[in-house]
Amino acid sequence: MTKGLIEKFQQIDALLANAKTICVASHENPDPDAVSSVLTLHNIFKRQNKKSIPYLPDSPSRGISYLPGFFEIQNEIDSLQPDLIICLDYGDFKRLRLPDLADSCKIVTIDHHIESDQRGDVKVIEPHFSSTTEIIYHWLAHKKIPIDTEIATCLLTGIIADSGGFKHVSTSAQTLNIVSELLLTGVSLNKIVRQVLASDKSLRISKAWGEVLSRVELDQLTSMAYSWLSAHDFIRLGVRLVDFEGIANMISSASPKNFGLFLIEYEKGKVKGSLRAEPSGGMSVVKIAKELGGGGHPYAAGFKLEGDLESVLKKVIKLV
């Protein structure tokens, strides 16, 4: 750990020392790294006899309901008054959908997205880490907090998910060393990989994925592979946004540049886009996402726009 990171961890420790009620929050339509980060800290704080509120504005996928504390997650915190809010893995503050109480609380941010609209009295922003859970591992090591099977399950789930099963460029030797330490606790790598990397989906979700993948097209000018779901499809298939975590990676594999886009019209006239790329393709998708009001990482980014699928697709292609 760098000296600067240790100093920020010490600042977080000082805020925690005076906090009795802590809200641990992450972003809308939470991915496994967001959920795992929240539940890692939630479980730690409970053991320290602090009142912990695990908050996500949307319910996460039931595919990771094996995570300890999953059924304690709350989607509303309007009536609660925490002393401290710890904001995790969000990139842009509005994605947290925090109520007005955030204005009167101390805030800590821990995030591996590139610097954007993160806020806080202490901000730990480390984009070179594989995941936010990897940063949290270092914070636990700094505090010398023992990691048992439950905590290791949370940490390993986040790392595996956000590293794409150790495929993404952010996977480092340090990441793999951490994974080996977590495995020593007895956590099941096989179970987590099976759950997180989408081989065990329900029949309903598998059919939805099949429909999306059957539509994949390749834009010849940009070498971008893309697919979509309309608002009608979204209702007809009975799916949620979190059901498509990881599908943009599969779409990108159809491109000679490993460059992909998934568009989903989750409400009529409202479109969410997920962009994926690999370093070998020479494309930094976060630049595209930022132009569209979104954000993320160089090789995994997203945005939301108002409009129909065709107009949003044209905007993306023009930016590329």
Structural domain boundaries of the chain?
A: 3-196, 203-319
Q: Residue 281's pLDDT is what?
A: 67
Asked whether this chain's domains 3-196 and 203-319 adopt the same fold, the reply is: no
Stretch (H or E) spanning 185:
none
Q: Are 63 and 192 in contact (CB under 8 A)?
A: no
Instruction: Give the position of tokens 């595919």.
Output: 63
For the chain (320 residues), the mean pLDDT of every run of 10, in chain order, is 90 93 94 97 95 94 93 84 93 87 84 90 94 97 95 97 85 94 94 76 86 96 96 93 89 94 96 90 85 88 94 95
3 state DSSP class of 230: coil
Pick the CATH number of 203-319 from 3.40.50.800, 3.40.1170.10, 3.10.310.30, 3.30.70.920: 3.10.310.30
Q: Residue 97's pLDDT is what?
A: 92
Q: Are 225 and 256 in contact (CB under 8 A)?
A: no
**Rounded to an integer, what distance in angstroms lies between the CA atom of residue 241 and that of residue 226?**
17
Q: Are 89 and 26 in contact (CB under 8 A)?
A: yes
Q: Residue 199's pLDDT is what?
A: 53
Contacts with 64 (C-beta within 8 Å, 6 or more apart), sequence order: 32, 35, 36, 70, 157, 195, 196
Tokens of 66: 């094996």
Q: Residue 101's pLDDT is what?
A: 66
Outline where 217-303 has alpha helix (H). 231-237, 247-252, 285-291
Helix and strand numbers, DSSP H then E, in the chain: 11, 11
Q: Residue 157's pLDDT is what?
A: 97
Q: pTM to 2 decimals?
A: 0.81
| Exposed / middle / buried, residue 119 (Cβ in 10 Å: 0-12, 13-18, 19+) | middle
Instruction: Give the position of tokens 């044209």.
Output: 314
Helix axes 32-47, 132-143, angle to 10 degrees: 20
Nearest CA to 297 out of 126, 83, 61 is that of 126
Tokens of 126: 């480390």
Q: Residue 278's pLDDT is what?
A: 83
Q: Residue 200's pLDDT is what?
A: 56
Please give the backbone phi and psi of residue 22, each rounded to the nearest 5 degrees, phi first.
-125, 130
Please state which architecture CATH assigns to domain 3-196: Alpha-Beta Complex (3.90)
Q: Residue 60's pLDDT is what?
A: 92
